[in-house]
Structure 1
Amino acid sequence: MNINLKLSNYMGKMSRICRLMSIAFALIFVNCTNAEEAAAAPSGSGDSEPEVPVLPETVKILAIGNSFSADAVEQELYGLFEAVGQKVVIGNMYIGGCPLETHAANAASDAAAYSYRKIVDGVMTKTSSVKLSTALADEDWTFVSVQEGRGFHGFYDTTYEGTTHSMEPDLTNLLNYVRSKCPDARLVYHAPWAAKEGYTGVKFSYYGYDQAKMYEMICGATKEVVAAHPEIGLVMNSMDAIQNVRTSYFGDNVTRDGWHLNYTIGRYTAGCLWFEKIMGRSVVGNAYRPSAISETDALVCQTAAHEACEHPYVVTDLSYFEKPAGEDGDEPHTVLAKWYFSRERTVADGGCETWTGQDELGVYRYDNEPGERGYFEANEEGAGRLSYVQVDKTEWPEDAAGLSTLDVSNGGQPVMSGPMAGDYWQFATTGGHEFAEGTRLRIVYTYNPGNYGAKYWRIEYKDGDVFKPVPSFELKTETLPLSGETVTYNQAFDASQRVIEFTVVLDNPTSEFVVRQICCSAYQVNDKWLGHPNIKCVSRIAGDPNNENKPLPQMDLLL
């Protein structure tokens, strides 16, 4: 372990380093104090943490959750248990974005509403349309966890900047239901993490788009949960583990889309926390690590989780870890296609010509015919094509108010005006790739809808021969008030720019990596609807090479 020790805080850092080295190299397992319950108790109460119960031969863990529980238990947790010879069965009752309110209602109605993901002997099976009662009766569960969803895990009974939310009475009702079905299971509360700085999803707005504030509110809400529910025997304070790892050389790069954990550092750190909490012994030194994570990276993640167990509700600084030479902190990957936008490059590299048919910026191309309107070839690295494809708009009058236009901005970015339902932006690699089942692919780009842009879009990716909605984005169906349209979407934009970033795992062999952002309605971000192509309704693939918070489009193969 390489350690950069600063003289000004020598004594404090040396104490921590010595402890970690003794753990890492001697593999001395220490008991996790689970101190968060004591920290949540009233000051001077004298309450002590109950002893960790003796574990059965096979530990059985059931999460009642959503994509956050999937991040925590579905990928890395089994390997950590297997590495120490502990038999384990892991279940996850999954509904994307599901809040306590819906879980409690499903329990009350015995709704067959869940995807039941179950890992036995390292193999996951998925069963659709499963009832909570069925899953709870499926095994003699050792631990059953619950959690809040839809971004409200920082609100127990709280109002903040105009947003009000309460977990009650749904949390109480759900816990009572679980206890009635599994009286011998230990109840667990899972407290997920704060969003990435710069994330623009509406759920982050509940916290003023402030990561530090969101973390503070999650800690506060979790303490309130523990105080109100002494029947909860264990708290999975994932928010602490993730905030800890962000202080290391990984920085704020542990999510795949700003909200959900990425498939390497993020998920491994969360898995380490769950392992240590359940086993009651340190995860530091556990031999399991996924192949994409180096030994040093694994030690950072394990330490972040261990410190979260030892010191809940505070952030532990891990900046003393030095990044190994030659590593950039990102997941190992191969760039498949990358675009670079600037006034000079867009003209010189031919993007202006292929987009508008002109060799200068600011010239419009008017055309209401269906099909591909224009395209940008990847001009920075790899091979790819960024294009805009539209529906037939020839019925609309050929004047400025009714024409679909293409333009190139002063920053060299592709702009389209007048999107209608069925239009789509498309990113596609063109390198002759054949991707196998299980391949992990990632894309990031910045999107700007402008002040009058279309509000509702659906982002999909090609898997085999079909396009699927991106799993990490919540899919919603809504009837719009002005147009009367019923739309199914996973992105509802406002007038601000938004970074779109996600990773997908292919279920089928697939030729090329293809992503579409499909317009669902001409309904605008300012909640107006004209019902025809509007030249003021702008749609732009943005990105600024001089601003890391506005990344340029890039498509990657994760190794």
Structure 2
Amino acid sequence: MKFALTLSLSLLLLVSAHAGEPKTVRLLTIGNSFSANATRHLGELAKAGGHTLIHRPLVIGGSSFQVHAEKAQKHEADPKDKAGVYGSGLGLKESLAADTWDYVTIQQASIKSHDFSTYQPHAGWLRDYVSQHAPKAKLLVHETWEYRKDDPRFTKPSTKEGEPKTQDEMYQGLRASYDKLAAEFGARIIPTGDAFHIVDNDPAWAYQTDTAFDPKKAKQPELPNQKNSLHVGWRWSKSKTSDKIVLGMDGHHANMAGEYLGACVWYEILFGESAVGNTFVPKGLDASFARYLQETAHKAVQARQ
């Protein structure tokens, strides 16, 4: 009995040592739907890891560095101008000063992420503004992700010069652009895009396009096989112009698996410990796939060390 108690105590101490000390992280994200996707499950991962997350998201759908910078500039020019505030009623200046943030993140709009010419001067303006109004916060650059391989951007590529025609071209462009920005700022990258790219190119786990599915002939509720997709993909939903249910394709935004992968990457960066073995897994996500996503997030973060 004494041996059993001693063994149990030893195991408990081992687990406690592995888990690390509880941390409280204060995070402000300046982003869009992609930052919302990537942090969807972050609080739950933090709680399961014994930590606390205090998060204020500043989200404008589809917004770029320019959109956020110009909103702050409008607020500076006229604090009463509603175009200068977020849904909370506060401008960026007040949001930055509202707490002693540990981290503030910025990111480019995904559609422009491959093109570094769209980053500046607005990203630099935001960096300086964050430094001025949240001087104790560390600035992090969130590397967003490539679209799904069967997204219209790639199945019907643009003829415009510089536009990526494949998933890999988009990734190579966005990685180079985010790397260049982070180097200029001396800031750390949150490599969500790297993690997505690893999964999208894993022979055993990558999503494979269901070539037997014809969206023009599909009838509700028919959908293709979308196993292991990290993106929303094909879905039936209400039309924006009528009550009719229509088939649509969203190869941009993350689905549950993509959101979980993103959150695991953010968790490692913010809390300084591996997401591998974290007990939180969203309901409905396959356990073996979830474990693989944890390991992939860890791999992506470690590659940036």
TM-score bucket of the superposed structures, by smaller chain: 0.7 to 0.9
1:133 counterpart residue number: 93
SS at match of 2:112: coil
CA contact (8 A) 2:190 2:269 kept: yes
Deviations 1:167-223 (CA, angstroms, capped at 9, x unpaired): 111111111001111000010101100111121149974533310111111111122
Alpha-carbon spacing, 1:196–1:29, altered in 2? closer, same or farther (3 Å): farther
What is the Cα deviation at residue 134 of structure 1?
2.4
1:99 counterpart residue number: 64
1:212 aligns with 2:168: yes
Of 213, 230, 237 in structure 1, the residue corresponding to residue 191 of structure 2 is 237
2:230 counterpart residue number: 254
1:458 counterpart residue number: none
Rounded Cα–Cα distance in structure 1 between residues aligned with 2:85 and 2:296: 31
2:28 counterpart residue number: 62
SS at match of 1:292: coil
1:453 counterpart residue number: none
CA contact (8 A) 2:148 2:231 kept: yes
Deviations 1:59-111 (CA, angstroms, capped at 9, x unpaired): 111110011111111x2000000011111111210111001111111122226
1:189 aligns with 2:145: no
2:288 counterpart residue number: 296
TM-score by length of 1: 0.41
Q: Which amino acid aligns with 2:42?
A: L
Structure 1 window deviating more from structure 2 (196-205 vs 282-291): it is 196-205
Alpha-carbon spacing, 1:113–1:287, altered in 2? closer, same or farther (3 Å): farther
2:264 counterpart residue number: 272
Rounded Cα–Cα distance in structure 1 between residues aligned with 2:54 and 2:134: 16
Rounded Cα–Cα distance in structure 2 between residues aligned with 1:114 and 1:250: 42
Rounded Cα–Cα distance in structure 2 between residues aligned with 1:113 and 1:29: 47
What is the Cα deviation at residue 56 of structure 1?
9.0
- CA-atom RMSD in angstroms: 2.7
Q: Which amino acid aligns with 2:116?
A: Y
CA contact (8 A) 1:59 1:88 kept: yes
CA contact (8 A) 2:142 2:192 kept: yes
Rounded Cα–Cα distance in structure 1 between residues aligned with 2:85 and 2:71: 13
Alpha-carbon spacing, 1:137–1:255, altered in 2? closer, same or farther (3 Å): same
Following superposition of structure 1 onto structure 2, how do residues 13-28 of structure 1 map, counting pairs within 5 Å?
none
Rounded Cα–Cα distance in structure 2 between residues aligned with 1:217 and 1:27: 42
2:184 counterpart residue number: 228
Rounded Cα–Cα distance in structure 2 between residues aligned with 1:92 and 1:113: 17
What is the Cα deviation at residue 128 of structure 1?
4.7
Of 120, 124, 132 in structure 2, the residue corresponding to residue 168 of structure 1 is 120
Rounded Cα–Cα distance in structure 1 between residues aligned with 2:65 and 2:45: 29
2:150 counterpart residue number: 198
CA contact (8 A) 1:240 1:308 kept: yes
What is the Cα deviation at residue 150 of structure 1?
5.1
Alpha-carbon spacing, 1:29–1:209, altered in 2? closer, same or farther (3 Å): farther
CA contact (8 A) 1:151 1:204 kept: no
What is the Cα deviation at residue 133 of structure 1?
1.7
Rounded Cα–Cα distance in structure 1 between residues aligned with 2:53 and 2:151: 35
Q: Which amino acid aligns with 1:255?
A: H
CA contact (8 A) 2:30 2:58 kept: yes
Q: Which amino acid aligns with 2:164?
A: G
> Larger RCO: Structure 1 or Structure 2 (Cα < 8 Å, ≥ 6 residues apart)?
2
SS at match of 1:259: strand
Q: Which amino acid aligns with 1:198?
A: D
Alpha-carbon spacing, 1:296–1:258, altered in 2? closer, same or farther (3 Å): same
Alpha-carbon spacing, 1:294–1:68, altered in 2? closer, same or farther (3 Å): same
Report sequence identity in percent: 28
Alpha-carbon spacing, 1:88–1:150, altered in 2? closer, same or farther (3 Å): closer
Structure 1 window deviating more from structure 2 (268-277 vs 279-288): it is 279-288
Structure 1 window deviating more from structure 2 (266-275 vs 100-109): it is 100-109
Rounded Cα–Cα distance in structure 1 between residues aligned with 2:269 and 2:88: 29
Following superposition of structure 1 onto structure 2, how do residues 136-151 of structure 1 map, counting pairs within 5 Å?
136-149=96-109, 151=111
Bigger strand fraction: 1
Unmatched segments (≥5 aa) in structure 1: 1-25, 32-54, 117-126, 158-165, 314-559
Bigger helix fraction: 2
1:504 counterpart residue number: none
Higher Rg: 1
Rounded Cα–Cα distance in structure 1 between residues aligned with 2:25 and 2:165: 39
